[in-house]
Amino acid sequence: MYQELRKAIERPPLYKKMAEAFWDDAYISKQMLKAHLDPDFEGASRKVDFIDESVRWISRLVPPEKQTQLLDIGCGPGIYAEKFAALGYEVTGVDYSRRSIAYARDSASKQQLNITYLFDNYLEMALPQQFDFITLIYCDYGALNPEERKLLLKNVLAHLKPGANFCSMYLRLHSF
């Protein structure tokens, strides 16, 4: 009995990998989308005022006239992507949730925003182009184990044009 209880309360190893695609799970993706779209909940996205200020800050640092092609990694339902597109960036969004990508495509279409949304794992993506600017907004980086972080940063570098910029909530703005 003691061993069963001890096993039940043991913490799983840090960064334990699941067998399934967590973000694309039917239940998880439905709850994540709901959380992203709730303007009063900061569990998946920031509040609207913070998002707006972040987009303004980023557009001042990297104006759309100078670095037009933007890749939004982990774009979710396109909340930031839509705001970037409205400012004049040519936006491509990548996310590993079919539900979020479907929502983002539908939302962009309704608003007549020309955004390319791709269902892809950003740890494995091999897009046919490089970008002027890449964003990784919110907490994706912090949820990755050290090896995945290296993979992500290699992918970022592979998809950046020379002299381009990368901005993440966990990393400062860098030119490469």
Residue with tokens 């006239």: 65
Contact 144, 137 (CB under 8 A): no
Gap between the Cα atoms of 71 and 166, Å rounded:
9
What confidence tier does 173 reach under pLDDT thresholds 50, 70, 90? very low
Q: Residue 15 pLDDT > 80, yes or no?
A: no
How far apart CA 78 and CA 120 sit, in angstroms, is: 14
Q: pLDDT at position 8, please?
A: 61
Q: Does domain 22-175 have CATH number 3.40.50.150?
A: yes
Say what the pLDDT of residue 172 is.
45
Greater confidence (4 vs 79) lies with 79
Cβ-based neighbours of 58, under 8 Å, separated by 6 or more: 84, 135, 167
Average pLDDT, integer, range 124-148: 87
For the stretch 33-63, pLDDT in tens is 666 667 776 665 677 788 888 899 999 989 9
For residue 33, what is the enclosing H or E element?
helix 26-37
> What is the pLDDT at residue 176?
47
* 67 vs 40: which has the higher pLDDT: 67
What pTM was computed for the model?
A: 0.79
Whether 71 shows a pLDDT value over 50: the answer reads: yes
